[in-house]
Amino acid sequence: MLKTLNNKRLLQSLLVLSFGVMMSACSSLPSLPTFGSDEQSATEAEQKTEEVLNDGTEPAAQVMSEEELAEQALMLEAQGLMASINAYQVENQSQKKLNASQLQNVQNAMNALAAGNTDGALSEVQRVLDDPDFFAAPHTSVWVLRGDIHQRATNIEQAIKDYEVAIALSPNNYQALNRLGKLHRDMGNFEQAKEYYNQALKAWPGNASTYRNRGILNDLYIGDKASALSDYRLYKALLDIQVQSTDTPAKALLKEQRLAGQWITDIKRQLKAIAREQANG
């Protein structure tokens, strides 16, 4: 699988997929004679052109393999997804911003959660929720944060309730939708989990993590290897774009990119094995 695409090859793929025709520059024609009439020169030029086209001695246009074309198409699809609208971000712009005091409480809660102090984190978040200003114009991110705290404290039922409040206030909150997908997956509610992931992708089609999450669900829980491969390939393609867009990609990003490649290789191997078994009856 191609890991990087240079600009020349990407331009070629755009022409291929947009017009359905492989475009390649032909070799220049042999030099025309400098003697004789213009009519004669034109006739000779036509003859030589016909010879070049018919004798098969000139280099043929380079034809990409089906796998290469598929990779180019995948990259174009990923680029389109990256440029898609993040509906939650649009919704978020219309929400009232947290004031300075609320922001400090949220930061304190995040610090406490990072330190494993779930009681302290809940206390800080509750101060925000009890604020009359917040009650009048709630911000869904706070509910997601409280859900995360409850999840860390293994209070899964309450975590689900908090995430559900978040999407009730903001249906396109893909963060809450992803979390609900994971929790329902862990509870064995696979179809419900998949529906949450699908909703998250409708909210933001360019969110790489959702493809990862849905791919894992399809791969390890539902057993739909073909769908898992599709999700993993999109996940990696989106990561590839992120890696290529920076001179110094984060180590965690590079690690995920490598893992995604390994998952794709493994899924392909499994699909081939399944095909052999089916062929052998």
Chain centroid offset of residue 224 CA? 19
On the question of pLDDT at 2 being above 70, the answer is no
Structural domain boundaries in the chain: 66-84+205-281, 85-204
The single residue listed with the structure tokens 């997929």 is: 17
Burial of 130: CB neighbours in 10 Å, binned 0-12, 13-18, 19+:
exposed
Average pLDDT, the chain: 83
Q: Tell me which of 66 and 256 has the higher pLDDT.
A: 256
Condensed to tens digits (0 to 9), the pLDDT of residues 107-123 reads 999 999 999 999 999 99
CA distances to 4, 222, 272 from 187, rounded to whole Å, are 39, 13, 31
Do 91 and 169 contact (CB within 8 A), yes or no? Answer: no
User: 22-43 as b/e, with b when 16 or more CB fall inside 10 Å?
Assistant: eeeeeeeeeeeeeeeeeeeeee
| Topology of the domain comprising 85-204 | 1.25.40
How far is it, in rounded angstroms, from Cα 59 to Cα 235?
Answer: 38
Closest CA relative to residue 70, chosen from 273, 264, 277: 264
- The string of DSSP codes covering 144-209 is HHHHHHHHHTT-HHHHHHHHHHHHHH-TT-HHHHHHHHHHHHHTT-HHHHHHHHHHHHHH-TT-HH
Condensed to tens digits (0 to 9), the pLDDT of residues 175-227 reads 999 999 999 999 999 999 999 999 999 999 999 999 999 999 999 999 999 99
Least confident of 65-69, 145-149, 152-156, 185-189: 65-69
Residue 31 pLDDT class (50, 70, 90 cuts): very low
For 218, the token pair is 């399809």
pLDDT, average across residues 254-263: 96
Q: Tell me which of 65 and 221 has the higher pLDDT.
A: 221
On the question of pLDDT at 241 being above 50, the answer is yes
Residue 66 pLDDT class (50, 70, 90 cuts): confident
- The pLDDT, as a whole number, for residue 162 is 98
On the question of pLDDT at 75 being above 60, the answer is yes
